[in-house]
Structure formats: structure tokens, C-alpha cells
Structure 1
Amino acid sequence: MKNYIAVDIGASSGRLLHSKVIDGKLKIEEIHRFKNGFQRINHHDRWNIDALVREVFIGLEKAKEKGIDHTYLGIDTWAVDYVLINDHQEKIADPISYRDKRTQNQIEQLTSKFSKELIYEKTGIQFLELNTLYQLFVENKALLKKANKLLFIPDYIGFILTGKQVTEVTNASTTQMLNLRSSLFDEELLELVEATADLFAPLTDAGTYLGKVQNKWLDQYDIPEVEVITVASHDTASAVVGVPATAPGNWSFLSSGTWSLIGIETISPVNSQKAFLNNFTNEWGAYGTYRFLKNIMGLWMVQEVKRLYSNDMTFPEMAKAADDYEYFTSVLDVNDTRFTNPENMIEEIRQACRETSQPVPQTIGEIVNCIYSSLAKSYQEELEHIEDIVGKKVEHLYIVGGGSNVETLNQLTADLTNRTVYAGPNEATAIGNVIVQMITMKDLSDVKEGRQLIENSFEIKKYEPRLG
């Protein structure tokens, strides 16, 4: 029976999860968890990429202790951020976080030279300041000239493990630099950021075998024999593979975590004028699909409130406190850039309520209530936009990721959208990571069979809309 390990790293934490099929059901066990976060170094918010690599090896050592001698492994992380590699195949500096303020107002700067309409026609990707296009636009050009290769975070970790360099397409598509027609990095956009196509390793599809972990790591660490598979390395792409969408009819997904991403899975991009005006994106998915979606701020706002609040309430306790107040008393635009990385999220929320002449939340319950109300309202609006743009009615909404555990928000979403909501699994990203590995190794025939396995293996909660 094959062992599969998903390395799933998000902006606030990472984990290694061991998976295998037992009695026809997929079993997932967390074997290592660690914290992640950026730090202010040399005037920028940077990720400690070396520490993340060390945590992967620590997790693999724990796997060996559990008796795992051989395993397949896939890596998924957040998108858009990158590591520059020099001619000696060493990182030039720790990668800068997408939340760093260096890209503020850079959309306006870049699009004064190259129109938004043309960029969207080429790429089909929504305009966000965090996109790699704007990061490279303001990148230190001296460093960029020193770079032999640019590797995105999951591809860099895979390179350290195996010595092989690739650019996995689900992650690369989020850069806003891949051309929908040529399926290559767009030459005109590369010229804008003073880069060339050879800066990037070869584009590689999800489900491609990458290679074995290098012998030097087997000598240095007591780890299993590991074979790395390039999965859908953008965590949202893996999460969508992990959606147990088996109900008949058209469905939409909501990957709910630090970010909320609501959309549909399609076999062709939707880069129409209406999609452009509503700032929807066409991220590439696994196996020739696209994720037509809207990126929404998500539970990052709640995470920041928890970080700032001195009483160390748990997330369930915060959710319970929110229920003590009437919902939709104050509703904010969660996609306002003021909430991307404010000095103080609580004060930013309060100030936004003052500016819009709404009741100002004071208690922790009122603040979380405001966030949940705002998120649910945003989900409703964007689902309506999706239906209008593609001309199809969506019957079901599948919520996956950590936010699938937030029962209050799930019910509010069902109520506002007037649709049946299916919530779970919460580890959809890691599960989707494993499903791609299993398809590569012929344990599953395709994603459809994988989704059926997910539905049979995990509890999926159902929320029906309440009337009135």
C-alpha cells in the first residue's frame, strides 16, 4: 500500500500530512505542524525560506519514526512569491512577502505604460497589487540581473529536495504574466519588468513526476526514501481538486482560509469584458482546467483580530461571541486594500465603520460579527456576478478549507445565497495534493474518481438556507 505525504504550507502555518487508502477510504494523519510568518528584514517583509525547508525535513524524520520507509510527496503553498537563484544555484535573498508594501500603487504605475484591458486580454488574471507582475516591476534590478532563475515557493522547495527546477503552471498562472493563447510567459509583459523567459524554469503541468530526494539529504537526515511529484502547487488549485463535488448540477467552490476564493471550475478561460470589469481571474487548474474566481480578503481579518486581542480567545470562542449580536449591523468592503496588512486590524475596521456612518463595533464579538457579515455579503455578491458573467445558474456551493469549520459563516452564506452549502473537508488542500499524487501513480484514474473517494472518506456538512 503506497504512502503519500502532502507538504501544505500557508501564510501562517505549514504541515506535513500522511495519507493512504485503508478499506476503500482515504485516511489523513498530520505528522508535523509548524508556524510560518514574515519578518521585517532589510526594509521588507520576508519569508524565512530556509526555516520552511528545515521543517519539511523535520516532518520527514517524524515520518521515518512512524515506520514509513518510502513515500511519495507533493508540495503546495501560497502563490505569487518567489526566490531568486544565482549562477551557483543558491538563493540570492529570502523571498519578499506579497503583503510587503513595495507594490502599493504599482498597478497604476505599470498600467500607465500598458493598458489594463490588454493585460487582461492576454492573461485573464485579476488585478491585485500582490501579483508577481507588480513585484517584479519594482524588484531591485541589480538583483534581477544577478538571477539565473526565479523559482516560486513550492518549486524552490522541490528544487532543494531533488535538485530539479520546474515552474508548475497552476502557480505560474497567478503571476499575471502567462499568455492564455501561447501558454507561455508573455514577451511584452516580461519586457515591462525587465526580465526574459529564460529566467523561469520549464513550465510543468500538475501531476508530473519530479524526482527522488537527493542522496545528500538521506545522508544528512534520517528520512524515508522520497519521490517528489509536482502537484497542483498553488494551494487553491489543490483545494479545488479536493472539492467533493458529486452532487448533480452546476456547482461553485469557496476555498475559505486566510483568503476566500469563490468561483467555478471551467475547461476554458472567461476573459470577457464583463469578467474584466468585475475583476475576475482565470487561474490555471490541474488537468487542463481553469479556476474562474474572485479573490476575497478572507479569514485573515479574523486571524489579525485574534493576534491583537489580549485574552487569547480561540477561534470557536470568537465565533460564539459574534453570535451574541445581530448580523449585518455593519458591513464593510472586505476587498478594500486598507485591510491587506494594516498596522492594527481592529482599529482599521472601526475607522472604516466610522467613515461609512455605520455602528462602530467595540467588543470582540461585534468585531468578528462585522467580519462574518461582510464576508457572507461578499460571497453573495460575487456568486451573483459569476452567474451573470457565465450565464449559468449555480445550484450548490462547496466550502472547503479551514473556514468550512465556521458554522455561523457557513449558515449565513447559505441564507444570503439561497443555496445549499456543503462544508468540508477542512484539509481539502492537502487532500487535493494527495489526489494528484495518486492519479500520477495510477491509484486513481482521474479527478472525478478522486472526488468520489473524498466524499466517501470525510464528513461533509450540509447547510440549507433559512427562510426570512
Structure 2
Amino acid sequence: MSQKHLIAIDLGATSGRVILATIDGQRIGLEELNRFPTRMIRLFGRYYWDIYALFGHICDGLRDAARKGVAIDSIGIDTWGVDMAFVGRDGQLLGLPRAYRDPYTDGTPEEFFRTVPRREVYDRTGIQIMNFNTLYQLAAARRERCDALMAADKLLFIPDALAYLLTGRMVCEYTILSTSQLMDPRGKRLDAKLLAAAGVRPEQFPGIVFPGEIVGHLSAEIAEATGLGPVPVIAVAGHDTASAVAAVPASDERFAYLSSGTWSLMGIEVREPVITDESFRLNFSNEGGVEGTTRLLKNITGMWLLEQCRAAWKARGRDYSYPEIVAMTSAAEPFAAWIDPDDARFAAPTDMEAAIRAYCRETGQTEPADDAALMRCIFESLALKYREVLDKLRRLAPFPLQTLHVIGGGAQNDLLNRMTASATGVPVVAGPSEATALGNVLVQARALGLAADLKDMRRLAAESVATRRFEPEESARWQAAYDAYERITQQA
């Protein structure tokens, strides 16, 4: 077959990229055209995403693609979940989208549960209760009497808002909707009772589309400005984790995945939602995947911990490269101190290093002596947290979990992957590192008839990327560390 050229627009919580994919039928090649920060901005005490800056970077990437001189067959967009843009009756965006790390939702779930009880919310949605879920963002914005929400004609999740800016067509993509705690996962439709309790209306949401459907074509204005012409924009798995999971190079279903980046998301892929007393007690989410699958998963704070420390160290004149971090962590004393990465104090502290030291003091541990010891504390704590969540996942999985696939940026972190294999006691297969972009491309390929089904998509992924395998080591030492970690985190 002749080569096809697709564009993946892939925005994570700290950086975004525009990637050109080339498919020849057997392999996919990825070329990064541009990379840019997706920083939150603070205005008047609130946190926002500068969606216009993001859109400008995306258009720059599309112009870079046009300069390649190849015909582009399709474009897809994936981003982080839950956040929304508000659109007025005139079609204009009403201000900047609020960022999920804004603490304005603190306490909102408990307030909301006075209207709809916690258990009923979970039974209706199957979604992990987290402050920043869209349901509570909308309730908090309504409580603040947010002018943009009050005037909104339509509500768009971030990938849908960007697709709207490119095409002029508004849709609500299924996988991104599934992160919101506004959707019935069994019927794959909006839950009218929860919308009403949050103070919004079903008609404020555009029609739902599923991965592989065409959103529209680049508008005449954007087609001319980028030089690409009227390229179709395809609804991929708009939630970045859903795209990443589509790219897991697995040959059967008996795997767990860890999408590792700023956030870590660990889960399995099942055919039907798992909404039970046990999944409620363990606070697991049921989110939409490709081809009708459900991703049973849990959100875990990931490399956010290290990223925040690195930024503070850099500001103080200690700018460590990643190889330096690996060397320093490897040389530091093992099993000296641990934290619960999901403790609320680490969500958005003004000083992450100080927050970690305070946690260690308050739990009767010795504070990390220096930067290397603090790095070691973060790495080991993440590996032990992964063990904790995987143990819970085993209790919900309808099949044995024989392998843990680590995908996303964390697939390149050999040290953490080695620790994770040892902590969890299962082999870790690391790769692809660009899983979200690859999954984005695979859904486009499926829509264009270049892959037959999800199994074929994963075959194509396996043939296109190299992976690394890590076997468990020092099982007794890691078991002892986990026992101590459990005691410490339960008392915090």
C-alpha cells in the first residue's frame, strides 16, 4: 500500500506536541514536529489553561506539517480529561478554561453528596470520587456564580474545544466524556439527574461521537492559514489515557497497564463496567475505551512530585539532568523513607520538597538528608504505591494479571520500572513511550481502514516500537519495604 500521513495532536498536563505519523501498512513512524509547554496560568487567584496559546502552538505544528510537502490524510486530538471550555450563543469561547488543579473544588464533593449521595453518584457513573471531576467543577462554578457558565450555550471538553477551533463543529467525544462523572457508563449517555444537580442542562452538550468518527474538516480559514487544505479531523480516543491504552502492545487481555507521566493511571481493560461494593470501596473508575471497551482504573499521582521538586531546585541553582537524577537516586540509601504520593498535601503545594519533608516528620520517619535522598523517597514511594493499587486491581479483575505494561513517558524510566517490577512482583514491559500519540494515530488508522480492529491495532503497535522487559528482583526486601510503607501511610 502507499504511505499514509496522519497528524496526532497530543496534549499532556505539562507539555504538548504535534506529531507526524507515517504508515506503510506494517509499521508506524512518528516524527515530532513541535513541542510546547501546557502551563497553567494564575489570574486573580484562579488557575486557567491558555487555550489560545495552545491553539497557536497547534497551528504552528500544522504549518510545519504542510512544509513537509506530503498529503495529510487525517488529524486527531487527545488531551487530559475533566476540564471544559464554555461557548456562547455567538460561537465564541467565554474566557479561558479553568484548570483541574485549581483548589476551588475543595470540599465540593461532600457538599454535592447532600443532594445526591456519594454511593448513588458512584452507582450512576462508576467513576472514582476526585475533587476535580467535571461534575464537581461545574457545581463549584455554579456556586461561584461563574458568569461564563451562566452564559454558556455549549460546554466542550478540551479536545473537543480544540477540534471546534479547527473545524467549526462542536461534538462531545465519548472517552473524554467518560472521565467527567456525568455519564452513565452502561448506556454511554449523559446522566440527567447529575447534570440537574450540578446546575447544567443536557442540551448544553453537543452530540456524542465515538472514536473513529469524523468530527469535520479543517475550516476554510484554518486550511488556508496552515497550508494543509480541508483535512478531516477524526475523533480519536480524546482522553489521553484512552489513546495510550489503545497502543499497549499486548497479545492477550491478561495484562494491567500503567500510563506513567505527570499522572500515573493503572488499570485493566474489560468489556463491561465493574460497579460493585468492592469497586466503590476501593474507589476505582470505569472510563471509556476504544471499540466499546471499559478501562477499569485508578488515578495515582505520578512524576508530578519530582517535576515540582526539580522546578524548585532549578530556581535555587540546582538544575539536574535526568541522567544525573538516575545516578543520584541509584546511589542514595535505599528504603529510608516513604510517602503516600496521593496524600492531599502533594496536590498543589507551594513547596513540594517542604511538603515531603513535613510528611516524613509527621509519620515518625527521618527526613531525606539531601536532594538525592528525596529523589529516592519519591521513586520508591511510587513503586510501592503501584504495588498497593495493583493488589486492589487483582481483587476486581476477572482474569489473572500476568504482566504490567508501562506506557507513556515513564516507559523510559528504567530505574523506576525496575523498582516497580520488584515492588509488584510481576514482570514490567516498558513501551511505547509515545503511547498517547501512537494510540491517537492507531484510531485514525482504524477509521481510514488501515487496521481491522483493536487486536490489529495492537499488532501494528508491537511491530512499530521496541519494548524493554524488567523481572522482579530482591522480592523479600521489597516485601518488607511494602509492609513498612503500609504502616506509615495508614497512620498519615
Q: In which range does the TM-score fall when normalised by the shorter chain?
A: over 0.9
**What is the CA-CA distance between 1:197 and the residue it aligns to?**
0.2
Taking the aligned partners of 2:259 and 2:372, their CA distance within structure 1 comes to: 24
Question: Could you say if the C-alpha distance between residues 455 and 374 of structure 1 is closer, same or farther in structure 2, counting changes exceeding 3 Å?
Answer: same
In the other structure, the counterpart of 1:127 is 129
The answer to whether the 8 A contact 1:71-1:225 is kept is: no
**What is the CA-CA distance between 1:43 and the residue it aligns to?**
2.5
- What one-letter code is carried by the residue in structure 2 that aligns with 1:376? A
In the other structure, the counterpart of 2:233 is 228
**What is the CA-CA distance between 1:30 and the residue it aligns to?**
0.5
In the other structure, the counterpart of 2:32 is 30
Taking the aligned partners of 2:129 and 2:423, their CA distance within structure 1 comes to: 27
The answer to whether the 8 A contact 1:13-1:33 is kept is: yes
**What is the CA-CA distance between 1:312 and the residue it aligns to?**
1.4
**What is the CA-CA distance between 1:135 and the residue it aligns to?**
0.4
* Range with bigger deviation, 429-438 or 216-225: 216-225
In the other structure, the counterpart of 2:85 is 83
**What is the CA-CA distance between 1:24 and the residue it aligns to?**
2.2
Q: What SS does the corresponding residue of 1:170 show, helix, strand or coil? A: helix
* Range with bigger deviation, 200-209 or 433-442: 200-209
Taking the aligned partners of 1:229 and 1:411, their CA distance within structure 2 comes to: 37
* Range with bigger deviation, 1-10 or 314-323: 314-323
Taking the aligned partners of 1:122 and 1:381, their CA distance within structure 2 comes to: 26
1:228-279 Cα deviation digits (max 9, x unpaired): 1000000000000011112x56110000001000110000011111010011
**What is the CA-CA distance between 1:381 and the residue it aligns to?**
1.0
In the other structure, the counterpart of 2:484 is none
The answer to whether the 8 A contact 2:247-2:461 is kept is: yes
2:171 counterpart (166, 172, 188): 166
In the other structure, the counterpart of 1:301 is 305
Taking the aligned partners of 1:455 and 1:217, their CA distance within structure 2 comes to: 35
2:188 counterpart (183, 188, 213): 183
In the other structure, the counterpart of 2:243 is 238
Taking the aligned partners of 1:327 and 1:404, their CA distance within structure 2 comes to: 22
* Range with bigger deviation, 182-191 or 402-411: 182-191
Matched, 1:203 2:208: yes
- What one-letter code is carried by the residue in structure 1 that aligns with 2:199? E
Q: What SS does the corresponding residue of 1:175 show, helix, strand or coil? A: coil
Matched, 1:433 2:440: yes
Taking the aligned partners of 1:415 and 1:196, their CA distance within structure 2 comes to: 49
**What is the CA-CA distance between 1:221 and the residue it aligns to?**
3.4
In the other structure, the counterpart of 2:488 is none
Matched, 1:464 2:471: yes
TM-score (norm 1): 0.97
* Percentage of pairs with the same residue: 37
Question: 1:313-392 to 2 correspondence within 5 Å?
Answer: 313-392=320-399
Question: Could you say if the C-alpha distance between residues 239 and 193 of structure 1 is closer, same or farther in structure 2, counting changes exceeding 3 Å?
Answer: same
Taking the aligned partners of 2:196 and 2:72, their CA distance within structure 1 comes to: 44
In the other structure, the counterpart of 2:20 is 18
**What is the CA-CA distance between 1:62 and the residue it aligns to?**
0.6
The answer to whether the 8 A contact 1:161-1:213 is kept is: yes
* Range with bigger deviation, 61-70 or 344-353: 61-70
Q: What SS does the corresponding residue of 2:183 show, helix, strand or coil? A: coil
Question: 1:253-292 to 2 correspondence within 5 Å?
Answer: 253-292=257-296
Question: 1:34-183 to 2 correspondence within 5 Å?
Answer: 34-139=36-141, 140-141=144-145, 142-183=147-188
Taking the aligned partners of 1:249 and 1:443, their CA distance within structure 2 comes to: 22
Taking the aligned partners of 1:181 and 1:454, their CA distance within structure 2 comes to: 29
Question: How many corresponding residue pairs?
Answer: 467
- What one-letter code is carried by the residue in structure 2 that aligns with 1:323? S
RMSD (Å) for aligned C-alpha atoms = 1.3
The answer to whether the 8 A contact 1:328-1:374 is kept is: no
2:457 counterpart (420, 433, 450): 450
Q: What SS does the corresponding residue of 2:243 show, helix, strand or coil? A: helix
- What one-letter code is carried by the residue in structure 1 that aligns with 2:224? D
1:207-229 Cα deviation digits (max 9, x unpaired): 11112101112333333542110
Taking the aligned partners of 1:229 and 1:218, their CA distance within structure 2 comes to: 15
Taking the aligned partners of 1:30 and 1:53, their CA distance within structure 2 comes to: 17
- What one-letter code is carried by the residue in structure 1 that aligns with 2:361? R
